[in-house]
Structure 1
Amino acid sequence: MVLRSCWKSRHKNSGGPAPCWIRPGLVAVLCLCVIQIGCGSGAVGETKNVVQKDAEFDVTYNDTVTSENQTIYAFNHTVSRNKTEGVRVSVLSQLSESPILFVVRQKQAVLSFQVPLILRGLYQRKYPYNHVARTLCQPPTRAASETQYFFVDVSTLSTQGTNYQLRVSRVESFTLQTNKKFTFTASPSQPQYFKYVFPDGVDTVIVKVNSDMNFPCSVMSIQDIQCPVYDLDNNVAFIGMYQTMTKKGAITVQRKDFPSNSFYVVVVVKTEDEACGGPLRFYPLRPDELIDAGNRSKVLDVMVSPAINSEVYVMGMLFCLGIFLSFYLLTLLVAYLLFCPLSTFSSERSLDSVGRSRQESLSSVEEDDYDTLDDIDSDKNIVRTKKYLCVSDLARKDKRVLSKKYQIYFWNIATIAVFYALPVIQLVITYQTVVNVTGNQDICYYNFLCAHPLGALSAFNNILSNLGYVLLGLLFLLIVLKRDIVHNRALVRNSLNALECGIPKHFGLFYAMGTALMMEGLLSACYHVCPNYTNFQFDTSFMYMIAGLCMLKLYQKRHPDINASAYTAYACLAMVIFFSVLGVVFGKGNAAFWIVFSVIHILATLLLSIQLYYMGRWRLDSGILRRMVYIVYTDCIRQCSGPMYIDRMVLLVMGNIVNWSLAAYGLIERPNDFASYLLAIAICNLLLYFAFYIIMKLRSGERIQCLALVYILFTAVVWGFALYFFFQGLSTWQKTPAESREHNRDCILLSFFDDHDIWHFLSSIAMFGSFLVLLTMDDDLDTVQRDKIYVF
C-alpha cells in the first residue's frame, strides 16, 4: 500500500506522462519511492513537492533543495549507432552534514551519487568533495538513430535549504581516435573515461596514459562496454584490467577479450598517494573526522596505438633462434678448421720423448726442500707446505676416484634443478592466472611499453629472449662431451700426454656449469612470467651457482686433489641463497640484519683465506687461537719474516680488501636490492680470482693460445655491452608498481625486444664465452709435464 500511494503521489505531482516513469524500469521506481518515504518529514507515506523541469545541455542550473521538495531535470538527446557521444553530469554544492542525493535514470542504467562525495582512503580516512562530475555510460543502440531520455533527480534529507549547481554537457572526443593524443583533467570526484572501437585489421592495441605530474596517484583501467562503469577509487578494481600510475601507464588490449570490439579507458585519481609511493598522511584524531583532500586535479593525456601484428612475432622468434643457432654452425666450423686437418694427434709426444724430458727435468722442488723419505708420496703436510708447488704435487689421487668425485657436481645440480624448477613453474603459472583473472597489473613488474602477450603470457618477448641461455648451455655441454670423449679415447690408448701432461682433465664441473646455464635460462623465463620482489630469487639463484662453480673450476685447475667436494660446495651455495631470501624479505632498512650479514661476510672471508693460504692444512679447533698467537710471535715479532707464499698472500690480501669494502658498503648504504648486492659480491670475487689466474699464468712463463685469446677479448666486449643494457633499468621491484612504470620504455629491436631482452641475449653469449675461456685457457699446457706446471 505504501508503494502504491507513493506511485500515485509521484505521478500526480510530477505532471508528466506515465511513460516517462515506466522507461527507467521497476527498480528505479521502487528506489525513488523508498527515497520519498525516507525524505518525508512526517508520517510514512507523506508526500513532498516534486517538480519536473525540461532541461537543456550546457546550461548551468542554480537551485535549492530541502527535504520538502524534490526536483527532476528531464533531458533528451539523439543517439546514433555509428556515433557515440558522451554525456557528463557536473554538480557543485556547499559542504554540509546532510548531503544531496543525485540519481540519474537512463534507459538501461541508474547512476546515483551524493554531494559532498565522501571517499575513503587508507585506514578508512574520509575525504569530502563538494564538486562531483560523472560521465554517463552509453549502452549501444540497435536503431540507426533514436531519441533517448534521461532524468536527474535531486533530493536531500536536510530540512534547511541547500544550494547546488547542476550542469549537463556533451563530452568532446568521447570516442578516442587511433594514434591521436587527447588531453583531459581528472580528480578523485571527477573521473574520466572514454570509448575506443577497434578499427578493421587491428587486433591488438596499446593504451598509453601519460602525465607530467608524479602525483596525485591515479589508476587507469580497461573495462568492457557495459553499465555501470566503475570509475571511483573504491570500485575501479572491480572489473577489467587496471594499474596504478604516476607519470606513465600502458596496457596492451586484445580484441579477442572484448566481444563488442570496443572498450572503455577509465582514469581515476586516487584519494591518497600511498599506492604510488607517496607520503602517508596523518591519522585522524576521531574516526568520523573529515580530512581536507586539497587540490588533487591531474592533467593527463591518453593515446591508443596499434600493437605489433603476428608477422612481428614470427620475425622476433626467427631472429632469436637464428642468433643462437648460428653459434652451433660457428662451433662446427671452428671444429672443422682446427681438428679435421689433423689426421693424427700430432700434438702428442712419443713415449721416448716424454721419458727423456722427465729424466732431464728435476722435481718441482729442490732436494733440500724436504726430507728424502718414502712418505713424501703420502704425507700431505710435507707436500703441501713446500714453498713452490707444481700440479704434479696436487694431482696424486687416482684419476678414476677424482672423476667420480667431480661427476657428483653434475648429478647434484641436475637433482637440484628438478626439485627447484617444478614448484617455481607451478608458482609462476599461478601468478599469471591471478593476473589474468583479477586484471590487477600491479602484481607483475613488466616493461608495459614493450610487453607483447601471447596466449596466457603477458610478456612473451621477455620469456623468449631467455632461450639463449638454454641453447648455449646445451651447446657448451656438447662441446664438453666432445672433449671428454676425445680425452677418454686418449686414455684408452695410454697416451702419455693425456696421462702425465697438462692440467688434469676432469669434466664434472664443466657439465655442472652448462647445466646451470640452462637452468638460469629456464628460471629467468619463469621469473619474467610475472616479475616481482617475491620471486626475484628465481632469477638469481643459479647466477650464484654459476659464479661459485666458475671459481671452483679455476681453483680445481691447479688444485685437483684438494678442491671442495660437491656436497660442501652446494651447501655453501645453499647458504648464499638462504641469505638472499632473508635479505629480500628483511633486509630493507633493517640495521640488525645488515650488521649480522656483514659480520658473517667478513668471518667467511677470513676463514676462506686461511683455507686457501695453507692449502687446507690447518684445523679449526680449540687450539687455533694459541697457534695464531704463536705464528704472529715467531714470524712477525721474533724474526719479522715475510710470508712464505707471496703470490697467495697478495691474492688473499686483495680479496679481503675487496670483500671488507663491500661489507662496509652494505652496512652503510643498505641497498634495497639485496639479491643484486649479493650477486655483485660473487662476481667481484670471481673477476678478482680470474685476473689473478691470468697474471700468474703469464708470470709463470705460460702463454695463452690464439683461440683462447679470441674468446677472452670477445667475451670482454660482449660483457661490456651486456652490462650497459642491464643498467638501463626498465622496471624495478624495489619501488611501487606505479614508480616502476616511470622507467618503462618502448621496444628498440624489431619492435619486439626491449633493452632487458638485449641484456638476455648478450649475457647468455657472454656467459657462454666465459665458459669457453675456462675450457681452453690452459690448452697451451697439454704437452707440458705436470711437474713443470706451477700451482698458484
Structure 2
Amino acid sequence: MLLRSCWKSRHKNSSGPCWIQPGLAALLWLCVTQLGCGSGAVGETKSVVQKDAEFDVTYNDTVTSENQTIYAFNHTVSRNRTEGVRVSVDVLSQGLESPILFVVRQKQAVLSFQVPLILRGLYQRKYPYNHVGRTLCQPPTRALSETQYFFVDVSTLSSQGTNFQLRVSRVESFTLQTDKKFSFTASPSQPQYFKYVFPDGVDTVIVKVNSDMNFPCSVMSIQDIQCPVYDLDNNVAFIGMYQTMTKKGAITVQRKDFPSNSFYVVVVVKTEDEACGGPLRFYPLRPDELIDAGNRSKILDVVVTPAINSKVYVMGMLFCLGIFFSFYLLTFLVACLDNKRVNKKRELFPNPADMSPAETGKTPASPYEYGSFADNGSTLSSEAITDSATSTDNNYGYMGQEPFKRRPILNHLHHIAVRIERSLDSVGRSRQESLSSVEEDDYDTLDDINSDKNIVRTKKFLCVSDLARKDKRVLSKKYQIYFWNISTIAVFYALPVIQLVITYQTVVNVTGNQDICYYNFLCAHPLGALSAFNNILSNLGYVMLGLLFLLIVLKRDIVHNRAMVRNDLNALECGIPKHFGLFYAMGTALMMEGLLSACYHVCPNYTNFQFDTSFMYMIAGLCMLKLYQKRHPDINASAYTAYACLAAVIFFSVLGVVFGKGNTVFWIIFSVIHILATLLLSTQLYYMGRWRLDSGVLRRMVYIIYTDSIRQCSGPMYIDRMVLLVMGNIVNWSLAAYGLIERPNDFASYLLAIAICNLLLYFAFYIIMKLRSGERIKCLALVCILFTAVVWGFALYFFFQGLSTWQKTPAESREHNRDCILLLFFDDHDIWHFLSSIAMFGSFLVLLTMDDDLDTVQRDKIYVF
C-alpha cells in the first residue's frame, strides 16, 4: 500500500517529492528501481502484493512485469543462540526472456540475486542455474531476545508469467561444535556457510573440510561475522582466508584475528575444475552462449578441532635444541677422550714430535700390502734403504713391522746426517714461505729436471707424493678461496631470498589466499607472521651441525698448524696432505642449506623451490671435489672453475623448472649436454688433468679409442680408473635416458638425483680402492660410516612420504596432507629435516676421518686412485 501511495503521489505531481518513512529506506530503493519513483518518466502501473509467510512452507507462485510479490517473515533472535535462515528458490519455466529478481531485505543488510543465476567461469563462459539457495547473514544482536523481520521481494521484467517456488527454512546445526563433524551438500548456486564461536580457553583452532569426491572443485573460506557474506564463486576471495580443495582442506584460525571471537566457515563449489587440476572445458561457440553445468553437487563434512597450545610450542623447540646440542656434548666428550688417549700414549712412548723417523729408529708405519699395486708401485724411502743397507745382527730398528739391526756407529752417523738434512730443509722451507707474493701460477714446484709432470702423472701406479709437489702455502691459499667464495655467494644469495619470502608471507597474510604456499595444512603451526613455524624450526639442525663441523675442522686445522710450526715429520711428509679450505666450504654450505631451506618453507611453491636445492648441489659438488682432492691435491679444480660449473647446474635447474615440464626440445638439449659433460669429465679424470679441453678434444678422443683400443686391441693402461669411469658413464647415460623418456615434472629433484648418484658412486669406489690397497678404516670413521648409512635410510623414508607437492595444483597437493606425528608439532617432512641434517653432518665426518689411518704413512707409499 505504501508503494501504491508513493506511485499515486508521483503520478499526480511529477515534480513533487515522494515522502516515505526513514525506517523503510529499502522500500524507497525498490520504488526507484522497480516503479520509476523519483524519475522524470512515468512508469507503468505495477501491482504489489504483500503476503505474510511462514518458515518451512513451500510457496508456488507466478510473477510478471505487471505484479510484484513481497513475502514478509519474522523470527525471534536470541543473543545466546544463533539460528541460520536459508532461502531456496526454483524457477519452473524454461527459456525465460528476463530473469526473476529476488531481493531479501533484512535489518542491516540487503541480499539480491537473480534466477536463473548466471555464474561465469574461465574465459567468461556462462553457466545458468535455475535452483538457487542462499543463507542469510545473522547480524549480532545486543538485546537478550528480539523479533526481527525480513522481506523477500519477487519481481521480473518479463511480460510472460513465470512460475517459481520459494521456501524459507531454518538451518539445523548452523553453529558448529568443537570436535563434532557435520555433513552437508553444496553446489555453485547453493553455497553453504556456518558459524563457529571460540570456546573459553581455546585461542587457535583448525577448520577441516573433507569430501570423498575429488570433483567438483570447491573453495573453503574463513570470514569475519559481518554482512554481506561472500559466498559465490565470483566473490568468495574478496575477504578472509580461502583455499581451493578437492578432498581435503584445512585452515588454522587464531582468535586474535577475529574481534567478535567467532567466524563463518564458507564452502563454495566452483563452476569449473581447472583451479583444482580438472579438465579444461570446451569453448562456447558464441560469446553469449550458455553452457549446461550439469550436476555439480558435492557432499562434504566440516569439523573444527582445537590446535596445540603454547606448551607444545615450547616442547617442540626444546626437543629440537636438545637433539642438536647433544651432538655438541658428544663431540666434546670424544675430543676429551682422544686428548686423554694421546697424552697417555706420549707418556708411555715418548717420541718428540720434531724428531724424524730415522732419529727415532722407525720409519713411518706402512705395514700395508697394496694388493695389485704391490708388485709394481711400491718404493722404499731413502731412510728405509739406508737402514736396510746398514743392518747387522745385534742392534734394533724396524722396517715396517719386521725387525732389522744396524751398527751403532753407522746408526749415529746416520742420525747426524738426517739432522743436517732436516736443518737445510727447514731453512729452505722458511725462506720459501717468507715470500709474500707466491702464487700458484708463478711457478711449478715439480722438479722438471728429474721428472716431467706429464711423465709422472701417466705412470701406471701413482703415489700421493707424485701429486703433492706444489708449495703447501700456495695450495692452502688455493683451497681457502673455496671458503671465501662460498661465503660471498651465501651473502648475495641469501639476502634477496629473505626479502622475497618475507614478501610472499606478507601477501598471504594480507590477501588470505592460501593457494600461494604449499604447506602441510594439517600440521602447520603459525607463530607471529609465519604460517608454518614448525617447518622453519626443523631446519635449525643444518645450521647448528654445520657450525659444529666448522669447529671440528678448526680444531684439526689448529693442531695441524702447530705440528707444522714445530716441524713434525708426520705432518710434513706423511698422510694425506691437510688442506681444510674445502671442509670450511662444506660446513658453510650446510649452514646455508638450513637457512635457505627455512626460507623456502616460509612459503613453499614452485617459483622458489630452487632456494631449497641450490646449496644441495653445492654440497654434493664440494664433497666430490674433496674426495678427489685427497689423492690429487695438485690437480684439483680451482674454486673459480668449480663454482662456475655449479652455477651452470643451478642455471639449468631454473630452466628446467620454468621450461622443462613436457618440453621435448629442452630435454633433448639437456640430455646431450649431460652426456657430453660426462665424457669430457671422464677424459679429464682418466688422464689426471693432462688432457687439453679445447675444440679438438672429441677428435682426439675418437683417435685414441681407435688407435689404442680398436686397432691394437690393447686394454686400458689405468684399469681402476677405467672401471670407475665406465660405471659412471653407464649411470649417467641411464639417467639421461630416463629423463628424456619420462621427462619428470620435478626437474630440480631429478638434477639433484644425478649429483647424489655420482657422489655415491665415487664414494663407493674410494672405499673399495682404499681397502683394496691394503689401507684400513679406523674405528671412529667406521662408526661414522655405519651410523650415517642408517640415518640416511630413515631420512629417505620420511622424505618420500610426500606431504605436499608443488608439481600439482594447491588443491591436489592438499590431498597428501597428514597430521603431525611427533610431539603433535612436527610432521614427516620435519623429521626428514632432522635426519638429513644429521646424515649430512655424519657424511662430512666420514670425509674428515676416513684417511686418519694414513697419518703416519709416508706419501710415497700412499697410492692414488
Measured at CA, do residues 616 and 9 of structure 1 come closer, stay the same or move farther in structure 2, by a change above 3 Å? farther
Measured at CA, do residues 130 and 286 of structure 1 come closer, stay the same or move farther in structure 2, by a change above 3 Å? same
Measured at CA, do residues 25 and 693 of structure 1 come closer, stay the same or move farther in structure 2, by a change above 3 Å? farther
CA distance in 1, matches of 2:698, 2:835: 49
Superposition deviation, residue 37 in structure 1: 2.7
Q: Is the 8 A contact 1:36 1:47 kept in 2?
A: no
Q: Is the 8 A contact 1:241 1:439 kept in 2?
A: yes
CA distance in 2, matches of 1:492, 1:309: 57
Superposition deviation, residue 22 in structure 1: 7.8
1:248-263 paired onto structure 2 within 5 Å: 248-263=248-263
CA distance in 2, matches of 1:239, 1:254: 16
CA distance in 1, matches of 2:189, 2:95: 14
The residue aligned with 2:109 is: 109
The residue aligned with 2:703 is: 630
Question: SS of the counterpart of 2:92?
Answer: strand
Measured at CA, do residues 137 and 251 of structure 1 come closer, stay the same or move farther in structure 2, by a change above 3 Å? same
CA distance in 1, matches of 2:856, 2:173: 80
CA distance in 2, matches of 1:707, 1:607: 37
1:191-590 paired onto structure 2 within 5 Å: 191-335=191-335, 375=448, 379-590=452-663
Question: SS of the counterpart of 2:857?
Answer: coil
Measured at CA, do residues 674 and 373 of structure 1 come closer, stay the same or move farther in structure 2, by a change above 3 Å? closer
Superposition deviation, residue 46 in structure 1: 3.1
Q: Is the 8 A contact 1:107 1:148 kept in 2?
A: yes
* Aligned-pair Cα RMSD in Å: 5.6
TM-score of the pair, normalised by structure 2: 0.85
CA distance in 1, matches of 2:596, 2:472: 34
Superposition deviation, residue 45 in structure 1: 3.4
Question: SS of the counterpart of 1:491?
Answer: helix
CA distance in 2, matches of 1:274, 1:142: 44
Question: SS of the counterpart of 1:243?
Answer: strand
Superposition deviation, residue 640 in structure 1: 1.2
CA distance in 1, matches of 2:755, 2:447: 42
Measured at CA, do residues 556 and 66 of structure 1 come closer, stay the same or move farther in structure 2, by a change above 3 Å? same
CA distance in 2, matches of 1:422, 1:50: 68
Superposition deviation, residue 9 in structure 1: 7.0
Between the aligned residues of both structures, percent identity stands at 95
Query: What per-residue deviation string (whole Å, max 9, x for no partner) do you get for residues 405-440 of structure 1?
Result: 000000000000000000000000000000000000
CA distance in 1, matches of 2:572, 2:450: 18
Q: Is the 8 A contact 2:193 2:266 kept in 1?
A: yes
CA distance in 2, matches of 1:102, 1:687: 70
Q: Which has the larger radius of gyration?
A: 2
CA distance in 1, matches of 2:189, 2:10: 31
Measured at CA, do residues 498 and 20 of structure 1 come closer, stay the same or move farther in structure 2, by a change above 3 Å? farther
Query: What per-residue deviation string (whole Å, max 9, x for no partner) do you get for residues 454-511 of structure 1?
Result: 0000000000000000000000000000000000000001000000000000000000
Measured at CA, do residues 178 and 630 of structure 1 come closer, stay the same or move farther in structure 2, by a change above 3 Å? closer
Superposition deviation, residue 626 in structure 1: 5.0
Measured at CA, do residues 113 and 622 of structure 1 come closer, stay the same or move farther in structure 2, by a change above 3 Å? closer
Could you tell me which runs of 5 or more consecutive residues in structure 1 were left unpaired when the two chains were aligned: 336-342
Question: SS of the counterpart of 2:578?
Answer: coil
Superposition deviation, residue 380 in structure 1: 1.5
Measured at CA, do residues 695 and 72 of structure 1 come closer, stay the same or move farther in structure 2, by a change above 3 Å? same
Superposition deviation, residue 533 in structure 1: 0.2
Measured at CA, do residues 192 and 365 of structure 1 come closer, stay the same or move farther in structure 2, by a change above 3 Å? closer
The residue aligned with 1:340 is: none
Question: SS of the counterpart of 2:529?
Answer: coil
Measured at CA, do residues 325 and 350 of structure 1 come closer, stay the same or move farther in structure 2, by a change above 3 Å? farther
Question: SS of the counterpart of 2:688?
Answer: coil
Measured at CA, do residues 621 and 37 of structure 1 come closer, stay the same or move farther in structure 2, by a change above 3 Å? same
Q: Is the 8 A contact 1:103 1:110 kept in 2?
A: yes
Q: Is the 8 A contact 1:23 1:107 kept in 2?
A: no
Superposition deviation, residue 26 in structure 1: 5.9
Superposition deviation, residue 359 in structure 1: 26
CA distance in 2, matches of 1:107, 1:361: 92
CA distance in 2, matches of 1:371, 1:549: 25
Q: Is the 8 A contact 1:347 1:783 kept in 2?
A: no
The residue aligned with 2:682 is: 609
Q: Is the 8 A contact 1:369 1:386 kept in 2?
A: no
Measured at CA, do residues 294 and 172 of structure 1 come closer, stay the same or move farther in structure 2, by a change above 3 Å? same
Superposition deviation, residue 296 in structure 1: 0.1
Q: Is the 8 A contact 2:629 2:636 kept in 1?
A: yes
Query: What per-residue deviation string (whole Å, max 9, x for no partner) do you get for residues 713-772 of structure 1?
Result: 000000000000000000000000000000000000000000000000000000000000
CA distance in 2, matches of 1:364, 1:672: 51
Measured at CA, do residues 597 and 367 of structure 1 come closer, stay the same or move farther in structure 2, by a change above 3 Å? closer
CA distance in 1, matches of 2:560, 2:60: 95
Superposition deviation, residue 10 in structure 1: 11
Measured at CA, do residues 695 and 15 of structure 1 come closer, stay the same or move farther in structure 2, by a change above 3 Å? farther
Q: Is the 8 A contact 2:6 2:37 kept in 1?
A: no
Question: SS of the counterpart of 2:300?
Answer: strand
Query: What per-residue deviation string (whole Å, max 9, x for no partner) do you get for residues 2-42 of structure 1?
Result: 999746679999999xx999899565234201332369999
Q: Is the 8 A contact 1:40 1:68 kept in 2?
A: no
Measured at CA, do residues 344 and 367 of structure 1 come closer, stay the same or move farther in structure 2, by a change above 3 Å? closer
Q: Is the 8 A contact 1:728 1:755 kept in 2?
A: yes
- Greater shift, 622-631 or 396-405, is seen at 622-631
CA distance in 2, matches of 1:384, 1:129: 81
CA distance in 2, matches of 1:186, 1:459: 30
The residue aligned with 1:339 is: none
Measured at CA, do residues 362 and 53 of structure 1 come closer, stay the same or move farther in structure 2, by a change above 3 Å? closer
Measured at CA, do residues 12 and 557 of structure 1 come closer, stay the same or move farther in structure 2, by a change above 3 Å? farther
CA distance in 1, matches of 2:426, 2:40: 121
The residue aligned with 1:33 is: 31
CA distance in 2, matches of 1:356, 1:80: 95
Measured at CA, do residues 96 and 630 of structure 1 come closer, stay the same or move farther in structure 2, by a change above 3 Å? same
Superposition deviation, residue 195 in structure 1: 0.1
Question: SS of the counterpart of 2:36?
Answer: helix
Superposition deviation, residue 691 in structure 1: 0.2
Measured at CA, do residues 453 and 166 of structure 1 come closer, stay the same or move farther in structure 2, by a change above 3 Å? same
Measured at CA, do residues 95 and 528 of structure 1 come closer, stay the same or move farther in structure 2, by a change above 3 Å? farther
Measured at CA, do residues 172 and 204 of structure 1 come closer, stay the same or move farther in structure 2, by a change above 3 Å? same
Measured at CA, do residues 751 and 544 of structure 1 come closer, stay the same or move farther in structure 2, by a change above 3 Å? same
Measured at CA, do residues 625 and 747 of structure 1 come closer, stay the same or move farther in structure 2, by a change above 3 Å? closer
CA distance in 2, matches of 1:390, 1:680: 33
Could you tell me which runs of 5 or more consecutive residues in structure 2 were left unpaired when the two chains were aligned: 336-377, 384-421
Superposition deviation, residue 365 in structure 1: 30
1:720 to 790, 793, 801: 793
Q: Is the 8 A contact 2:126 2:289 kept in 1?
A: yes
1:594-743 paired onto structure 2 within 5 Å: 594-625=667-698, 627-743=700-816
Question: SS of the counterpart of 2:166?
Answer: strand
CA distance in 1, matches of 2:176, 2:97: 39
Q: Is the 8 A contact 1:94 1:130 kept in 2?
A: no
1:71 to 69, 72, 75: 69
Query: What per-residue deviation string (whole Å, max 9, x for no partner) do you get for residues 195-214 of structure 1?
Result: 00000000000000000000
Measured at CA, do residues 366 and 666 of structure 1 come closer, stay the same or move farther in structure 2, by a change above 3 Å? closer
Q: Is the 8 A contact 2:445 2:470 kept in 1?
A: no
Q: Is the 8 A contact 1:324 1:472 kept in 2?
A: yes
The residue aligned with 1:60 is: 58
Q: Is the 8 A contact 1:284 1:291 kept in 2?
A: yes
Measured at CA, do residues 13 and 194 of structure 1 come closer, stay the same or move farther in structure 2, by a change above 3 Å? farther
Q: Is the 8 A contact 1:6 1:36 kept in 2?
A: no
Q: Is the 8 A contact 2:11 2:42 kept in 1?
A: no
Superposition deviation, residue 374 in structure 1: 6.6
Query: What per-residue deviation string (whole Å, max 9, x for no partner) do you get for residues 131-173 of structure 1?
Result: 0000000000000000000000000000000000000000000
CA distance in 2, matches of 1:652, 1:608: 9
CA distance in 2, matches of 1:151, 1:460: 48
CA distance in 1, matches of 2:618, 2:313: 33
Q: Is the 8 A contact 2:219 2:267 kept in 1?
A: yes
CA distance in 1, matches of 2:167, 2:235: 25
Superposition deviation, residue 44 in structure 1: 2.5
Q: Is the 8 A contact 2:482 2:581 kept in 1?
A: yes
Question: SS of the counterpart of 2:448?
Answer: helix
Q: Is the 8 A contact 2:445 2:469 kept in 1?
A: no
Q: Is the 8 A contact 1:469 1:764 kept in 2?
A: yes
Q: Is the 8 A contact 2:7 2:37 kept in 1?
A: no
- Greater shift, 247-256 or 353-362, is seen at 353-362
Measured at CA, do residues 551 and 159 of structure 1 come closer, stay the same or move farther in structure 2, by a change above 3 Å? same
CA distance in 2, matches of 1:752, 1:776: 36
Question: SS of the counterpart of 2:22?
Answer: coil
